[in-house]
Amino acid sequence: MRVGTRVATAQAPSARRRLLAGVAAERALSIVSPLGLLLLWELLGRVGALDQRFFPAPSAIASTFAQLLLAGTLHAEVVTSLGRVAAGFAFGALPALVLGISMGLSRMVRAALKPMVGALYPIPKTAIFPLLLIIFGLGEGSKYAVVAIGVFFLVLLNTMAGVMAIESVYLDVGRNFGARPLEVFRTIALPGAAPFIFTGVRLAWGNALLLIVVAEMIGARSGLGYFIWSSYQTFAIEELYVGLVTISFIGYFSFLALDELQRWLIPWKGAQAA
Amino acid sequence: MTPARPRIAARHLGMQFELGRGVVVALEDVSLAVADGEFCCIVGPSGCGKTTLLRILAGLQRQTAGEIEIEVTDPARPLNAMVFQEHSVFPWMTVEENVAYGLRMRGVHPNVRHDIVRHYVDKVGLRRFARAYPHQLSGGMKQRVSVARAFATDPQILLMDEPFANLDEQTRVILQEELLRIWEESRKTVVYITHSIDEALVLGDRVLVMSARPGHMKAEIAVDLPRPRSVYELKSTPEFGALVRRVWEPLRQEVLSSYVAEALAS
């Protein structure tokens, strides 16, 4: 027994060290490999293997990025686009949440709305944009609308699926303790469907970023989509790349923020997420 | 054995479910009378409709025949509270929030609510876990939450649907003892569903045996064992052994015929 114990304690630290070394190597690789790719890109540009008209060197893109940032132009475009996404998101997600929960809870509501949702959902939202331009004009309204519509269906369908997946015993508990419909909504349906709702929100957020860029390319005089489009029209290739990099950053950091928000809003899923 | 003035009286209850092409008869002519303050246990083979019966008593389902009368003694308190089979504790609420649920739905003032919740959380030994979420608890602890949640609303009658069925033997015995202890304080009217003869005898004042589907009442056995009871001591007495045999006799045949029915159905 004693020997066994001693062997175990002797092995424990080295196993732990090996594990930590593995984790450190993983972290290092995940930083080194993209940097390596950038370096290769830079080198290939310098030796003339890459056509600078299409693939400007990362250093050139970075310096343009810095200039635009200092001038405040980039900042303004980002704020404009994010403002539109946020407004459109709110207009789309909030009614989708309420309707999605109602559809999940009530077969009658589901029967009434599902055919319409089924018919409208498959239409590419970009295809609706010209119509939205006619209805809402070139102002902010058409941008909010296209984002809202894109967000609406994804949040609606995921919320409905989430409510339908709630185990019926929870609804029985609610009824047994005398929960009224609004309380069932708030204390059972909403938290019970929260993990699904969050999946919908993540999908919708990605979709919203895509839609706003397209909408700004076609029908706006400001925003990141417009910035990229006007860079194309003036053959300002480095600025075009700056636009792409900026969108990539926005996407990356907003998804990190969503992860954090999820951990905060759905603490009871903590065990599974970790 | 039928009490003179029953607290719960169900007469000729019937329940039919439409299932695809056919009709399933879950309950047929079930009559039941439970006295005020009685702990009434119902045993029966699986699939005999005992859960359906309890759901009808709870008002979660409506019978297709017969009638129920439950005497209301205190309109200010909820008529019934149910302790469900496992997994009925809300995963998105902490232990405290779960126990508080019924009170919250009744609009009990937060200060009052807080005191009651603390009282019952303590009573089921979960003080240290008051802020924990169910995924951090064992199965036995979750069922303690469920029991505390039902008692916290101080219902006029308590309905329990095999609450300890999925726990291991040791945990089950401990929870049975805790339940007896809490129940002794209030002596509420209880209808308790179980498939365990031991459990029914340990807890109940009376055991009703249900038949295989379509369920109806087949036998009743009075349990004249003294209270307060200690689960392990009770089980080793000769009286207990004799009672087990008295319940098992009518039950045995029903269990066998439920096997036959199942085999024929599949």
**Nearest chain A residue to B59, by CA:** A176
Helix (H) or strand (E) holding A35: helix A2-46
Tell me the chain A residues in contact with residue B56 when contact means C-beta distances shorter than 8 Å. none
Averaged pLDDT for residues A209-235:
95
Residue type, A224: L
Q: Do B78 and A177 touch (CB under 8 A)?
A: yes
Percentage of residues of chain A with pLDDT beyond 70 = 93
Residue A140: half-sphere exposure toward Cβ, Cα within 13 Å = 10
Closest C-alpha among B82, B107, B73, B93 to residue B135: B93
ipTM score assigned to the predicted complex: 0.91
User: A interface mutation test: which of B56, B92, B131, B160 has the most A CBs within 10 A?
Assistant: B92
Place of tokens 């029903």: B254
The rounded distance, in Å, linking the Cα atoms of B67 and B64 is: 9
Say yes or no to pLDDT of A10 above 70: no
From the CB of residue A263, how many other CB atoms can be counted at a distance below 10 Å? 13
Tell me the chain A residues in contact with residue B59 when contact means C-beta distances shorter than 8 Å. 176
Tell me the chain A residues in contact with residue B131 when contact means C-beta distances shorter than 8 Å. none
Tell me the chain B residues in contact with residue A270 when contact means C-beta distances shorter than 8 Å. 133, 135
Tell me the chain A residues in contact with residue B134 when contact means C-beta distances shorter than 8 Å. 268
Pairing of strands B189-194, B157-161: parallel
Say yes or no to pLDDT of A175 above 90: yes
Q: What is the pLDDT of residue B20?
A: 80
Q: Is B54 helix (H, G, I), strand (E, B) or coil?
A: helix
Mean pLDDT rounded to a whole number for chain A: 91
Q: What is the pLDDT of residue A13?
A: 62
Q: Do B90 and A188 touch (CB under 8 A)?
A: yes
Q: What is the pLDDT of residue B3?
A: 56
Closest C-alpha among A84, A92, A82, A98 to residue A125: A92
Tell me the chain B residues in contact with residue A180 when contact means C-beta distances shorter than 8 Å. 105
Bond into B228 cis (ω within 30) = yes
Tell me the chain B residues in contact with residue A175 when contact means C-beta distances shorter than 8 Å. 60
User: B interface mutation test: which of A177, A197, A263 has the most B CBs within 10 A?
Assistant: A177
**Residues β-bridged to residue B15:** B27
Angle at B166 between CA A177 and CA B217, to 5 degrees: 70
> Mind listing the pLDDT tens digit of every residue in chain B (266 residues)?
555 578 899 999 999 988 888 888 899 999 999 999 999 999 998 888 899 999 999 999 999 999 999 988 888 899 999 999 878 999 999 999 999 999 999 999 999 999 999 999 999 999 999 999 999 999 999 999 999 999 999 999 999 999 999 999 999 999 999 999 999 999 999 999 999 999 999 999 999 999 988 888 999 999 999 999 998 889 999 999 999 999 999 999 888 888 887 788 77
Joined tokens for residue A70 = 């200092």
Q: Do B102 and A191 touch (CB under 8 A)?
A: no
Burial track A165-185 (b if 16+ CB lie within 10 A, e otherwise) = ebeebbbbbbbbbebeeebbb
Q: Do B87 and A167 touch (CB under 8 A)?
A: yes
Contact yes or no for B45/B212 (Cβ under 8 A): yes
**Nearest chain A residue to B57, by CA:** A176
- pLDDT digit string (tens) for A53-83? 899 999 999 999 999 999 998 999 999 999 9
**Nearest chain B residue to A178, by CA:** B105
Contact yes or no for B211/B203 (Cβ under 8 A): no
- Residue with the bigger pLDDT between B258 and A227: it is A227
In this complex, the residue of B88, B104, B133 whose CB is nearest that of residue A169 is B88
Say yes or no to pLDDT of A4 above 50: no
Contact yes or no for A234/B100 (Cβ under 8 A): no
Q: Is A183 on the interface with B (CB under 8 A)?
A: yes
- pLDDT digit string (tens) for A123-149? 999 999 999 999 999 899 999 999 999
The rounded distance, in Å, linking the Cα atoms of A204 and A100 is: 14
Distance from CA of B153 to the nearest CA of A (A): 9
Q: What is the pLDDT of residue A183?
A: 95
The rounded distance, in Å, linking the Cα atoms of A186 and B90 is: 13
Q: Is A212 on the interface with B (CB under 8 A)?
A: no
Per-residue HEC secondary structure of B68-83 comes to EEECCCCCCCCCEEEE
Size of interface A-B (CB pairs under 8 A): 63
Closest C-alpha among B226, B218, B219, B222 to residue B243: B222
Averaged pLDDT for residues A91-116:
96
- Name every residue in B having a CB less than 8 A away from some CB of A: 55, 58-60, 78, 80-82, 84-85, 87-88, 90-93, 101-102, 104-106, 133-136, 149, 153
**Nearest chain A residue to B151, by CA:** A177
Tell me the chain B residues in contact with residue A178 when contact means C-beta distances shorter than 8 Å. 78, 102, 105-106
Q: Is A186 on the interface with B (CB under 8 A)?
A: no
The rounded distance, in Å, linking the Cα atoms of A34 and A43 is: 14
Say yes or no to pLDDT of A1 above 50: no
Distance from CA of B250 to the nearest CA of A (A): 32
Q: What is the pLDDT of residue A169?
A: 94
Averaged pLDDT for residues A220-233:
95
In this complex, the residue of A173, A178, A267 whose CB is nearest that of residue B78 is A178
Q: Do A191 and B133 touch (CB under 8 A)?
A: no
Question: In sequence order, which residues have a C-beta less than 8 Å from that of residue A209 and are 6 or more positions away?
Answer: A85, A247, A250, A251, A254
The rounded distance, in Å, linking the Cα atoms of A176 and B61 is: 11
Joined tokens for residue A179 = 């929960």
Q: Do A176 and B60 touch (CB under 8 A)?
A: yes
Say yes or no to pLDDT of A270 above 80: no
- pLDDT digit string (tens) for A145-169? 999 999 999 999 999 999 999 999 9
The rounded distance, in Å, linking the Cα atoms of B112 and B93 is: 19
